[in-house]
Structure 1
Amino acid sequence: MSRKLFFLLILFLPSQIGRHFWPQSFLVSGIRIDYLAPTIYFTDLIKLGILVSFLFEQRKKLSLLKKLLSAKYMIPLFLLLFFIINIFSSSFRLIAFYKSLKIIEFIFLGFYIVKSKIKLPSLLIPLALGVLFSSILGLAQLIKQSSLNGLFYFFGERTFTASTPGISLIDISGRLLLRPYAAFPHPNVLGGFLSIALIFIFFFFKTMKKNISYVGFFLFVLLFGVISLLTTFSLSSNLAFMTSFILLIIAHPKTFLFKLKPLFIFLPLFLLVFVLFLTKVYSVNFLNDSALRIRLDLEAVSLWLQNPYIGIGLNNFIPLSHISSESLFFFRQPVHNIYLLVLAETGFIGFFTFIFLILSSLKRSLKLWRQKIYLPLLLLIQVLLIGFVDHYFLTLQQGQILLVLVFSLAFLPKSSYT
C-alpha cells in the first residue's frame, strides 16, 4: 500500500493543492506571506498515508524505539534536540516550530524512500504524466498570457494574468511576456521540476521496453518537457539541465550519442544557444533583480552574525529581515541561496549538518557513478547548482519533495535502478 501511495505522491508532485491558514502570529506587519503560512497540502496527506502504511507493514520487525536508541539512529535524536534549541532561541517561535515539523515530515519521507528500496523505473509513468501535464498547462498559459482556470484550479493552478501584481514577466525586445507557472508557485520551480524529471527520464530511456508506443509516449513527453523547460525562461534550470545532459552523454556515449544521433547531438547545441539568449535577456533586463539578490545575500550574512551558532530560527529570515520591512513586494522572500539561508536560520551547527548531508550524498553518488549508475550524481549536481541562486528546495512544498527525492537516490542500492 505504501508504494502505491508513493507513486501517487510522484504523480501529484507538480500540483500545489492545499489549504492555507493565516494565524495572526504568522503574518508579517499584517501581511500574508505564502512562505510562512501553515498549509495542509494534498501531498502532505499522501505522505501521512505513506508513513502510516509503512509503519503498519513494518510492525513485526524491530521496534522503532530500539532502532532510535541504536548508534545508527542517533542523528535524528540530535536533530530533534537542535530543533528544540533553535525554536526557543528564535524570535518567532511558532513559525520555527511549524518549519521544524515540516523538516521532520520530510526526514521521514527520505527514510521511507531509502528503507523501502523503491524500484525507480516504476516511477517513470507517474513522473512522465506529471511532466506532460505541467508542460501542456505551462505552454497554454504562455500562449494565453494568463491562467486557464476552470478545472485546473483544483490541481493547484493559481488565478493570474500578465497584469497581476508581483507576477513573473520576461522582457523580450521591449515586450513583457508572462512566464508559465503551470501548477507551481513560480516559473523557476516549474523549471527546476522539469530539469530534474527530464534527466530522470533520459537516464532510464536506454532500459525502456522496445515497444513503439511505449517509447513513442516517452519521446513525446521529452519533447514537450524540453520545450516547456526552455519557455520557463529559468536561466538556472536550463543551465543545470544542460550541464547534467552533457555529462550524461559523456558518461554513456554508446546509448545517447550513437543510437539516437539527431536528438542527442542537436539538443545540447540548441540548449546552449537558448541559454546564451537567456543570458543576454537577463543581463539586459534583470540587473535590478541581481542587485536585489545581492542585498538579500548580504542580509543573510548580517542575520547570521546575530546568532552564529544556532541561527536566527527556522523560517525566521523573512520576518527578521530589514529588507522585508521595506514597501517593495519583491523583498518579502527568503535569500535566493539555500546555503546562506541554512547558515542564517540554523547557524554553524545547522550549516555543517547540511554540508555533511551533501558530502555524504556526493560520496555515495560517486560510488554509484563508478558502477555506471549516473542518475544520483547528475540530479545532485542540478540541486547544488540551482541552490546557489534560488531557495525553493528549502522553502516550497514541491521543491522540498524534489530535494528529499534527490538526496535519497544516493542511498539506494544498485538494485533499485534496474
Structure 2
Amino acid sequence: MLLKLEKSIFYLLIFLAPLQLRHIFFFLGEKFSEWQSIHIYATDILVIFILSLWLWRSRKNFSFKFDGIEKSLVVFSFFCALSLFMAQNLQIGFFGLAKILEMSALFLYIKRNFEKIYGIDFFWFAFAGGALLQSIAAIGQFFKQGSLGLNFLAESPIGPNLPGVAKIAVNGERIIRAYGTVPHPNILAAIISTAIFGLLFLLIERWLKSKKTEKALAAVVFIFLALGLSLTFSRVIIILTLIFLVLWLCFCFREKKYRAGALWAGVLAILIFAAILISFSPYFLSRFSPQNLGESQPVVLRLAYGEIALDMIKNRFFLGVGQSNFTILSRDYLTMLAPWVFQPVHNIYLLIAVGSSAGTALVLDDFGNYRGIKRP
C-alpha cells in the first residue's frame, strides 16, 4: 500500500516538475529577485514525502555504503556546506545548501530505486504531460504578448514593455519570448526539448503495438511541444535539439524493430519544424541573425557574469563566496542596474567554483567522469 502511494507521488512529481507551483517566503531588497529569495515549490513537498516513504520502507535494510558516484556527491555537498563560512547572507546560503541536499537525496533515491519499481514508459508519459501544459501556456503568452494571469502557477509578469523580460526585436517591434510558468525561456526550452525526446522515444518504442488513435494523439502533442519550444527562441537549445534529434533518429533507423517508428517520427518532425520555420520566419531571422548575436544584451551580460565569476574565484579560491551568494556580491561589480540584471553566471562549473570553491567544481567534474562522460 505504501509502495503504491510512493510510486503515485513520484509520478505526480514528474508530471508537476515542468510546472511552477510555489510560495515565496522572503526576498532581499524592495523588488523581487528569483535568485535572492527563499521559497518552496509544491514539488519540494512531494520530494519530502517520497524520501520519507523510502526511508520508512527501507528502514531495516538501508545501506550507508556509498559507491564512487555517491561518495563524490557526499564530498560535493560537504564543500557546499563549508562555503557558508564565507557567505555574506547566511539565509540565502542555507537555502541554497538545502536545495542541493534535497536534490542530492532525490538523486540517491532515483539511483537506488528507479530500475526496481518504476517504468520508463510511464515516466515519460508523466513528464510529457507536464511539458504539454507548459507548451500550451507558452503559445498563449506569445500570441497574447503578455501574461495569461496564471498567478496560482507563479507565472512571471511578462510584456513587451516590461524591463528584464526576454524579448526579440522584429522590424523595430519588441516581441516577448515564451516563458510558460518558469523563470526564463531557456529553462522552458530545456524542459520541452527533453519532453520531445521522451515522447518520440515512446512513439518509436511502441510503434508496432500502438493504435492509430495513439499515434495521432502523439502527433498532436508533438506539434504543441515543437511550437512551444520554437516560441522560446532559445538559440542554443533549439539548434542542439535539432542536431541531436537527427542523429538519434538516424541511430534508431538502423535498428530494424525501430525503423518504421523512426521513419514516421522523422517525417513528422521535418514537416512540423518546417511549417513553424516558414510561419515564423521573420522572428527566427531576427533572433538567429549573426549581426544581432554579438551585440545582443544577453550575450553581453553572460560575458560580464563570466568575468565577475573569474575575479571572485581568484579572490576566494578555496571556499568561494558562499553558496547562492554570487548574485548578492555581483552588485559590487554591476552598480546602478535593475534588480533583474543580477543573475547567476551562466556556466555550471564557474557557478559552483565561485559559490563553493574551485575544488567543488573539480568534484563535480569527477562526478561526470564517473558516469562515463568522456572529453573529446
Q: TM-score range by the shorter chain?
A: 0.7 to 0.9
Q: Give the corresponding residue for 2:302.
A: 293
- 1:263 partner letter: L
Q: Distance in 1 between matches of 2:276 and 2:368?
A: 28
Residue 397 of structure 1: aligned partner: none
Measured on the aligned residues, the alpha-carbon RMSD in Å equals 2.8
The offset of 1:269, in angstroms, is: 6.6
Q: After the TM superposition, which of the residue ranges 97-106 and 194-203 deviates more from structure 2?
A: 194-203
Could you say which residue in structure 2 is the equivalent of 1:175?
A: 173
Counterpart code for 1:224: F
Structure 1 residues 16 and 238, CA gap change in structure 2 (3 angstroms): same
Moved more, 43-52 or 87-96: 87-96
Answer whether contact 2:73 2:367 (CA < 8 A) is retained. Answer: no
Counterpart of 1:354 (choices 339, 364, 376) is 364
Paired residue total: 356
Cα displacement string for residues 104-160 of structure 1 (whole angstroms, at most 9, x for unaligned residues):
0001111111111232111132222212211111111111111121xx322332343
TM-score (norm 1): 0.77
Q: Name the aligned partner's letter for residue 18 of structure 1.
A: R
Mean CA deviation greater in 254-263 or 241-250: 254-263
Partner of 2:267: 262
> What amino acid is the match of 2:162?
T
Rounded to whole Å, the distance in 1 between the matches of 2:105 and 2:57 is 15
Give the deviation of 1:192 after TM superposition.
1.2
Normalised to the residue count of structure 2, the TM-score between the two structures is 0.85
Q: CA deviation at 1:163?
A: 2.5
Instruction: Provide the rounded CA distance (Å) in 2 between the counterparts of 1:248 and 1:14.
Output: 23
Give the whole-Å Cα distance in 1 for the aligned partners of 2:338 and 2:362: 33
Q: Distance in 2 between matches of 1:180 and 1:169?
A: 9
1:127 equivalenced with 2:127 (yes/no): yes
Alpha-carbon distance between aligned partners in 1 of 2:221 and 2:158, rounded to the nearest angstrom: 26
Equivalent of 1:12 in 16, 33, 36: 16
**2:346 maps to 1:336:** yes
The letter for the 1-side match of 2:49 is G
SS of the aligned residue for 2:87 comes to coil
Counterparts in 2 of 1:74 and 1:295: CA distance versus 1, 3 Å: closer
- List, as ranges, runs of 4+ consecutive aligned residues in structure 1 with deviation greater than 4 Å: 68-77, 264-277
Instruction: Give, in whole Å, the separation in 1 of the partners of 2:68 and 2:348.
Output: 29
Residue identity opposite 2:59 in structure 1: R
Could you tell me which residue of structure 2 aligns to residue 279 of structure 1?
288
2:204 aligned partner: 206
For residues 332-411 of structure 1, the aligned pairs below 5 Å read: 332-363=342-373
* Cα displacement (A) at 1:257: 5.1
Find the counterpart in structure 2 of residue 253 from structure 1: 253
1:319 to 316, 325, 328: 328
Deviation digits for residues 312-371 of structure 1 (CA, Å, limit 9, x no counterpart): 1111111111334332344211112222211211222111011112222344xx8xxxxx
Give the match's secondary structure for 1:220.
helix
Contact residue 83 and residue 357 of structure 2 kept, 8 A: no
After superposition, the C-alpha distances for 1:146-204 in whole angstroms (9 at most, x for unaligned) are 1121xx32233234333333222211121111221111111121111111111122223
Residue 267 of structure 1, CA deviation: 5.8
Contact 1:147 1:158 in 2 (8 A): yes
Q: What does 1:214-229 correspond to in 2, within 5 Å? A: 214-229=214-229
Residue 230 (str. 1) matches residue 230 (str. 2): yes
Structure 1: tracts of 5 or more residues without a match: 367-380, 382-418
Deviation at 1:291, TM superposition (A): 1.9
Q: Describe the shift of the 1:268–1:134 C-alpha distance in structure 2 as closer, same or farther (beyond 3 A).
A: closer
Gaps of 5+ in 2: none
Asked if 1:3 is matched to 2:13, the reply is no
Q: Provide Cα deviations, 1:51-91, integer angstroms capped at 9, x if missing partner.
A: 111112212324x5xx1589886445434532332111333
Report % sequence identity.
24
Match of 1:303 in 2: 312
Report deviation, 1:240: 2.1
